[in-house]
């Protein structure tokens, strides 16, 4: 399978990013339809009473859907 993308990805692995609907961390990316697609694990909210099994939500977004990188600061 040949991909004809002439640009490098704008974002990289383990980078915290923001998008409409939330924030998350890029887990991986790959070329798709002349753009880049990113697998993003959304930030987890507070833990529910019944516990967690794994990540709450992982989504696939194209590069244009990502608004920018975020910097999380502990206060």
CB contact set of 71 (below 8 Å; sequence gap of 6+): 16
| Residue 74's pLDDT band (cuts 50, 70, 90) | very low
Q: Name the residue among 41, 39, 36 with its Cα closest to residue 9.
A: 36
pLDDT tens readout for residues 13-67: 999 999 988 889 999 999 988 889 999 998 777 777 777 666 568 899 999 999 8
29, with CB counted inside 10 A (0-12, 13-18, 19+), is: buried
Sign of CA dihedral 63, 65, 68, 70: negative
pLDDT in the model for residue 1: 45
Q: Which residues pair with 58 in a beta bridge?
A: 41
Sign of CA dihedral 8, 13, 17, 20: positive
| Residue 71's pLDDT band (cuts 50, 70, 90) | low
């Amino acid at each position: 399978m040949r991909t004809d993308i002439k640009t490098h990805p704008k974002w990289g692995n383990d980078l915290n990013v923001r998008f409409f609907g939330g924030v998350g961390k890029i887990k991986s990316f790959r070329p798709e339809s002349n753009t880049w697609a990113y697998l993003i694990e959304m930030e987890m909210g507070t833990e529910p009473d019944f516990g967690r099994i794994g990540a709450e939500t992982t989504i696939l977004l194209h590069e244009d859907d990502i608004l920018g990188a975020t910097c999380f600061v502990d206060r």
